[in-house]
């Protein structure tokens, strides 16, 4: 799911493994955030890391925060120690980096599923060897080939347990994603509802202003004709000013509600 410009940062509570420490919401609140996605086998990611480090050095003092997300691209990249070593050496990552739990869980599930399957390995080798008597100097080429079939039979239900654990991790990650999607949907719906309510209040305020102006015009006419006192005229003037102030507040609320809708929908806020 893409991160939305100007929106609140999604919760990072689901991340179980962090490199270089886990950031807090208070540390990231109100600051521009750069999210760097990478994996061990991605050479472009390694090249980009140097540029990210330069941005952090240049803009970090001005408030830029950086976090990394490691997305393993295969079961061989599930070793946390290997990922940590790659981040701290080859990548030169000094900012907090999270392990993508959902992607990792899916790879673990796939790896666990393969553990119960038979595997067939083929090996072919070749070369040159010395001759034999009487042609000792007559080198000969040779080729060797072999096949090995491995069938897991007695595993003590270890593979089954690993699969169940990995499957639980996938379901947990998917549940967090659904929860986040529902939160975003609710936020957009609430913001749009607030905007419609603000528009209705503004329309009502326009009507009240028109009525107050008509009442003031009538009061001024009646005061000129000596029908009412100046106190009654002052009351009409005060009511007209109050109606104008209420309309200004309704306009302000409408602008805020419109910005809230844009933020919830992922649109950059307008200045």
Q: How far apart are CA 231 and CA 217, in angstroms?
A: 15
Asked whether 49 and 89 are in contact (CB, 8 A), the reply is no
C-alpha distances (whole Å) from 115 to each of 106, 109, 123, 148, 168 are 14, 10, 21, 16, 17
C-alpha distances (whole Å) from 73 to each of 38, 76, 82, 102, 112 are 10, 8, 14, 12, 16
Identify the segments of the chain with pLDDT beneath 50.
1-2, 156
Q: What is the pLDDT of residue 214?
A: 92
C-alpha angle 229/235/238, rounded to 5°? Answer: 145
Angle between helices 101-114 and 158-224 (to 10 degrees): 150
Q: How far apart are CA 64 and CA 57, in angstroms?
A: 9
Q: How far apart are CA 49 and CA 42, in angstroms?
A: 11
Q: What is the pLDDT of residue 113?
A: 59
Question: Which letter does DSSP use for residue 253 in this model?
Answer: H
Q: What is the pLDDT of residue 165?
A: 61
Quote the pTM value. Answer: 0.43
Q: What is the pLDDT of residue 1?
A: 42
Q: What is the pLDDT of residue 209?
A: 92
Give the DSSP letter string of 92-131. Answer: ---S-EEE-HHHHHHHHHHHHHHTTS-EEEEEEEEEEE--
pLDDT tens-digit series, residues 2-29: 455 556 666 666 676 788 888 877 778 7
Residue 176, phi then psi, degrees to nearest 5? -65, -40
Label residue 197 left, alpha or beta by phi (over 0 means left) and psi (-120 to 50 means alpha): alpha
Q: What are the residue boundaries of the structural domains of the chain, listed by start? A: 188-264
Asked whether 41 and 71 are in contact (CB, 8 A), the reply is no
Judging by DSSP bridges, how do beta strands 119-129 and 97-99 pair with one another?
Answer: unpaired
Architecture of domain 188-264: Orthogonal Bundle (1.10)
């Amino acid at each position: 799911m893409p991160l939305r410009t100007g929106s609140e940062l999604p919760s990072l509570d689901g991340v179980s493994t962090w490199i270089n420490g886990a950031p807090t919401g208070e540390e990231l609140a109100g600051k521009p955030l750069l999210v760097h996605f990478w994996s061990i086998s991605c050479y472009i990611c390694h090249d980009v890391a140097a540029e990210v480090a330069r941005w952090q050095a240049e803009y970090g003092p001005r408030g830029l925060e950086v976090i990394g997300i490691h997305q393993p691209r295969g079961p061989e990249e599930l070793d946390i120690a290997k990922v940590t070593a790659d981040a701290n050496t080859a990548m030169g990552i000094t900012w907090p980096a999270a392990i993508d739990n959902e992607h990792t869980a899916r790879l673990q599930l796939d790896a666990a599923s393969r553990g119960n399957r038979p595997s067939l390995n083929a090996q072919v080798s070749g070369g040159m060897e010395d001759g034999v008597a009487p042609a000792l100097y007559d080198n000969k080429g040779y080729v060797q080939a072999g096949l090995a079939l491995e069938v897991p039979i007695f595993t003590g239900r270890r593979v089954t347990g690993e699969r169940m654990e990995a499957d639980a991790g996938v379901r947990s990650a998917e549940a967090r994603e659904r929860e986040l999607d529902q939160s975003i949907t609710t936020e957009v719906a609430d913001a749009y509802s607030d905007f419609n309510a603000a528009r209705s209040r503004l329309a009502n305020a326009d009507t009240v202003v028109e009525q107050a102006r008509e009442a003031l015009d009538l009061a001024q006419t009646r005061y000129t004709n000596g029908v009412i006192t100046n106190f009654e005229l002052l009351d009409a003037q005060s009511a007209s000013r109050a109606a104008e102030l209420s309309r200004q507040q309704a306009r302000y609320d409408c602008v805020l509600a419109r910005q809230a809708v844009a933020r919830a929908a992922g649109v950059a806020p307008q200045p």
